[in-house]
Chain A
């Protein structure tokens, strides 16, 4: 369980986050949503301890601020927004970097096959020998995810749940691979691990998250199940943009339809979207 308690982050004179609290449970996917500049990435950097913060963050009851980096690396793995490499690594070598210091939790024999299994999970089997720099942005993003899941391969190790922090994991992916990556996150949670993901696509958040935390102006504007957070009023306020929430008939999952102020204002009363 990750417990974020009343944290604040200041950069220079500006207070980017103020009084943020929420709990991300193991076995769940927690989505963080919010407009650009709301403080989502700052929150992620505070979770990773890249930024100093006041208040407290704990992973499985252990204080993050006083945790050594090696321990932190065994408890959570972090997918950055983008990664460029200055040297010509092969895809497999990049994935194997995930084994630098974490504890994958598998036998030594299985460790050698781990990068290839991780590549298979992100639909990149056979890419191991290619050079990372020659891949498309979306493929590079999936290679990085494979590296990250290597670091915490077993979602629960010695009875302790581990976490994936994903900063916009699907931002440069096509729709098939967006779903595939979110399926990887879902499986990780289903196996007992926890996932915290910054997502821009509200429908993806609705479909995959157990909990959604909406951030606006550096504070939590709402937190709860997708049905609790994705309501017309709350998300219109968070994103400062008119939106209409419906429900998918099967499973009653909310879906969000942005309403262009210019185009649909007149048509909105009839609820017709052609």
Chain B
């Protein structure tokens, strides 16, 4: 037992091996970090517009010409603000869906991007872009601005479900089977996507190219309206999954003995993963590795308790993507790099580092 002073001055006992206090502190720290990264995101970009100037202008603190103010207003409200909000939503969605998959498969290497779920979601999106005006026209007319999101969600859902059925037998997931099944599913989705791209016309090809780059650059309020609610609901649901995911780490049978309705619980997790992945892929294409890097780093710091990992991953995922986006805008300004390149440049080496560290333990 070590004794620590709590805020009200009383001496609280903290048991050895209890990292819940640390978990709470890290969540608070990450919330503060997100405020900072959001501010950085708002003030970074090719244009000289600055959020502080705008706000200062409101209160008459910063003298500005009217023309300048109007231009800055447009930059901030029509470009940077939606981009920042989309970055927060997608960063959180990617990190949390990675964490949920790792908990579901009881495996720290699971990630929607690695095991074909993103490819499946991408196939759904490409299907709408290419066939949305012909074969699937009634569907797109019915779903309106949500067509892309819902098609991605369904693509991701089907892929996750197949993956789970193939890789898991009586509650145990074989790592090798999961990764190989993921490669197969990814390749299959890629092949069908290839066929769709092949039959696409010139206008659709242009849309596909912009979509596929993995970028937040096309962020606008319509995209936020379409993907935001889905992501917010998926994140809100996952906030309640911490206890169950903790119990699931003991195996499905034991989780059941602890009172978790395992089959229903797993279905909720799969739907949340597919919704979060689908809604992000639909608006930003493939942004890889956030779901691996963020939960893994946090596990090193606060341990594997999902009650703290879930909010911490959402917060750090959002900050991580905002920073990657800032880098992608600044590094080749005034042009910009697709953000997927930045996350892969950080995530690829990080993933190799995990493999090196775990080589002995994984043994496959």
Interface residues, chain A, CB within 8 Å of chain B?
Answer: 45, 48-50, 68-70, 72-74, 77-78, 80, 83, 85-93, 96-98, 100-102, 112-113, 115-116, 126, 128-130, 151
- 16 A-B contacts, Cβ less than 8 Å apart? A45-B253, A69-B261, A73-B258, A74-B259, A80-B253, A86-B107, A87-B299, A88-B304, A89-B304, A97-B250, A100-B260, A101-B243, A116-B15, A128-B15, A128-B17, A129-B17
A50–B107 Cα gap in the complex (Å)? 23
Q: Which residues of A contact B256 (CB under 8 A)?
A: 48-50, 69
Given contacts A86-B106, A112-B15, A129-B16, 20 further A-B contacts (CB under 8 A): A50-B253, A85-B249, A87-B249, A87-B299, A87-B304, A89-B304, A92-B18, A93-B17, A93-B19, A93-B304, A96-B18, A97-B247, A97-B249, A98-B258, A100-B259, A126-B16, A128-B17, A128-B18, A130-B17, A151-B258
Total chain B interface residues with beta-carbon distance under 8 A: 27
A48–B304 Cα gap in the complex (Å)? 27
Q: In angstroms, how far is the closest chain A Cβ from the Cβ of B307?
A: 11
Q: Is B259 a contact partner of A70 (Cβ separation < 8 A)?
A: yes
Q: Which residues of A contact B304 (CB under 8 A)?
A: 87-89, 93
A88–B354 Cα gap in the complex (Å)? 14
Q: Is B251 a contact partner of A100 (Cβ separation < 8 A)?
A: no
Q: Which residues of B contact A69 (CB under 8 A)?
A: 256, 259-261
Candidates B15, B257, B259, B299; contact of A88 at CB < 8 Å: B299
Q: Is A83 a contact partner of B259 (Cβ separation < 8 A)?
A: no
A61–B304 Cα gap in the complex (Å)? 39
Give the A-B pair count, Cβ closer than 8 A. Answer: 96
A69-B260, A128-B17, A130-B17 known; A90 vs B303 contact (CB < 8 Å): yes
A50–B252 Cα gap in the complex (Å)? 10
Q: Which residues of A contact B108 (CB under 8 A)?
A: 86-87
A151–B304 Cα gap in the complex (Å)? 20
Interface residues, chain B, CB within 8 Å of chain A?
Answer: 1, 15-19, 106-108, 243, 246-247, 249-251, 253-254, 256-261, 299, 303-305
Q: Which residues of B contact A49 (CB under 8 A)?
A: 256
Q: Is A115 a contact partner of B15 (Cβ separation < 8 A)?
A: yes
Q: In angstroms, how far is the closest chain A Cβ from the Cβ of B300?
A: 9
Q: In angstroms, how far is the closest chain A Cβ from the Cβ of B259?
A: 3
Q: In angstroms, how far is the closest chain B Cβ from the Cβ of A102?
A: 7
A88–B296 Cα gap in the complex (Å)? 11
A96–B17 Cα gap in the complex (Å)? 10
Task: For A115, give the chain B residue with the smallest CB separation.
Answer: B15
- In the A-B complex, list the 10 residue pairs whose CB atoms are closest, starting with the nearest: A101-B259, A73-B259, A92-B17, A87-B304, A90-B17, A128-B17, A129-B16, A129-B17, A128-B16, A78-B257
Q: Which residues of A contact B15 (CB under 8 A)?
A: 92, 112-113, 115-116, 128
Task: For A112, give the chain B residue with the smallest CB separation.
Answer: B15
